[in-house]
Chain A
């Protein structure tokens, strides 16, 4: 019973094992990066960058078909370009950053869909929009794993200045000139992880593996390091849970993974000890001191 429900799908099917590896590897770096996006109030910027990947990947698709390298390279270039452009528009024009981001997000999505439709079928379109966790092949897994490995090392390297820049940017400026470099490297990490997630979950859901575990983890601890660890765990549990549910109930896999993460988020909102609803509505009797 236990074996049939939890182990057998992975033991029996190669594609399930590869999907399992994919979601677990993705969680390792996407979730902690999501934590910093959230703490810097950039959650929506992450969403925009995820969509911005689409036209780049679509250009890759136009040139080379469903080719891993072309779509990955196109996605990275487009993602970084939009991150920089949205920043520039917000800084040098009257438009506020959120409006600039919304504009980029809509244009990217429309442009991406148009480009894919020029050459591909609806199946291709569906695949770039919602991903294909169950069709991850070995080269794609290697790309995802390489990006994750790089991200983890990079994150370890910039952890202190990244935290410092979030908590007290003025202090970082007074002790080190690394602030801008750290910010740019961080944006690059965001794009790399979104591109990795794009292969598994598609452009519309990629950011889900980043933001949902992060947002859920916020409710469980007041310490950023523990928060990152918890978010990884939540990402992995939602990955495994989503795969199993989709297997047993024959549901689309990408959405099942994101829904699993969404359920954990909802539970955290209600039950989380740090600012959750339960704490708010029944805080317990007050203490002596």
Chain B
């Protein structure tokens, strides 16, 4: 399988301090990869780098054939204004942006797709509801419906299951597995190791430096987890310039 993404000595960070340090590796096309690690390990930073919201401090990311708009990205803290007067239907319909753009019509076929996506996430009957009336879990379902419509080959999820109940998580996981079945590449930042072990064949353990990357059972060994926990979170204000900044 061809790599969907390749990292070459990638360093990402803020204000010259690295948050992801010297990452090398490839994400193969069709991979279902979990990124795990302690808070502040650079997991979200890595996703922002992949989407292109953050430019590398060093090294590079090769997106093989993916333009930024071919990537569907669900950020950890979506900047959604939930008081905005818009219905669930219209929020989900935004997923068609890439196809419909500024003025493209939304035809019968599109409306069918929107309804199917809303149905697939279990929000049937919520179409006309204003987004401000949704619970946290329902909102996340609506955002997954929008991801469905984006029809992207590369899907990035940043803590998609945080503070959701078991039923919602298992419903949304079904979608993730459906994407995997359709040979899409899915990368998810997660904290629940059990969930990762059960559903994600591949895992990257990150603690600013990459600690381990490979088969989930190997990556999440007790030894690796301990190693990750020992790495310090704080930026060192007096840090010198990294010599290895090739």
Instruction: Report A's interface with B, CB cutoff 8 A.
Output: 39, 157-158, 160-161, 163-164, 166-171, 173-176, 218, 221-224, 227
Contact = CB atoms under 8 A, between A and B. Distances in A.
Interface of B: 51, 53, 68-69, 71, 73, 75, 78-81, 84-87, 90-91, 94, 97-98, 100-103, 130-132, 146, 150
B81 A221 contact: no
Nearest to B84: A167
Given A170-B75, A170-B78, A170-B79, A164 B94 contact: yes
Contacts of A222: 85, 87, 130, 132
B53 A167 contact: no
Contacts of A39: 81, 84-85
A168 B80 contact: yes
Contacts of B102: 157-158, 160-161
Contacts of B101: 160
B69 A175 contact: yes
A175 B130 contact: no
Contacts, number: 66
Given A222-B130, A224-B84, A169 B79 contact: yes
Contacts of B150: 175
A91 B219 CA distance: 44
Determine chain B's interface SS by DSSP, over half rule. mixed
A164 B78 CA distance: 13
18 contacts: A160-B97, A160-B102, A161-B102, A163-B90, A166-B84, A167-B86, A167-B91, A167-B131, A168-B79, A174-B53, A175-B98, A176-B69, A221-B85, A223-B85, A223-B87, A224-B84, A224-B86, A227-B85
Contacts of B86: 163, 167, 223-224
